[in-house]
Amino acid sequence: MIFDTTVLTVFKCCVDAIHDDKLIRRESRQDKEFHFQNWIRDRLDETSLNYEMGGRNSYPDFRMVHSSEGYEVKGLAYPGREANYDSNSQVPSGFYNGRAIFYIFGRYPAIPDGDTYPVLDLVICHGDFLNADHEYVHKNRSFRGFGSYGDIMIRDRKMYVAPTPFGIVSGVAHTQTLILPESVPTTNDYQEVGLLLRREVDRLTVSYTFDLQHNTLRPETVPNPQAGREHFFRAWRVNDGLSEPVIVRNSVAISTENNEDDAEE
């Protein structure tokens, strides 16, 4: 478990920047994805922590140099889709390639009135809060032989739709929240605003098959050897008087919101 971590410094810098009205700057109207990531890059520069920035399809977005940690950044337009997000590179996890992974979610105006606009709210969470499995390895596969002449290739390029903290918990809108595993200590600058429990499911999906004739997808599951295992996290805020509690939503409500978002796409 992480104790010597950069996340307290990174989170505090983001909070200070929001309070100081440091705005997101969109470089062009075609920049629909990386403006918030660039805002996070500027915050990392302010911390003086050394980091490496990956390419546009690499994971995670930022890799720290002097600690085994990385940051994956997800910007969310508000109002808009916020309960979940698409990932076509990696299923979320708290550990990847020897690094602890933190996810940074920030909401910004969906229809800004210019090329600069504020970060409306922000959540930084340890990846285990989204998914505690560290074993799965994402790989795309393909095969040839489809079609009447047998020379068409089918690519199995997986897209994961994962919940965001805005979908998992309530109490994180219009403020800045840090969610860490229970055992990770903070400092006196932080106020605890929630103890969050996530419990592992009874069965795990281990494979799936797709019927090309009927266009049906069938998942295959096995019993989870760690069924019912409880993972505890604590929600923190910088001491600023905002003590609205953070509470895990009903799992049925999370599932319903995800299905609605999928239907819209």
The whole-number average pLDDT for the span 94-103 is 96
Is a pLDDT exceeding 70 seen at residue 171? yes
3 state DSSP class of 7: helix
Find the range with the poorest average confidence among 48-57, 98-107, 132-141, 174-183. Answer: 48-57
Q: Which helix (H) or strand (E) holds 196?
A: strand 190-199
In tens, the pLDDT along 128-159 reads 999 999 999 889 999 999 999 899 999 998 89
Q: Please return the burial class of 71, using the count of CB atoms within 10 Å of its CB with bins 0-12, 13-18 and 19+.
A: buried
Whose tokens are 């049925």? That residue is 252
In tens, the pLDDT along 196-251 reads 999 999 999 999 999 999 999 999 999 999 999 999 999 999 987 667 899 999 86
| pLDDT the model gives residue 88 | 83
Helices (H) and strands (E) in the chain, counts: 4, 19
Is a pLDDT exceeding 90 seen at residue 62? yes
Cα–Cα distance for residue pair 225/220, rounded to 1 Å: 16
| pLDDT the model gives residue 241 | 66
Decide the pairing of beta strands 62-64 and 51-53: antiparallel
Whose tokens are 């109490």? That residue is 171
In 3D space, the residue among 103, 96, 114, 85 whose CA is nearest the CA of residue 25 turns out to be 114
| pLDDT the model gives residue 52 | 96
State pTM to two decimals. Answer: 0.90
Is a pLDDT exceeding 60 seen at residue 256? no
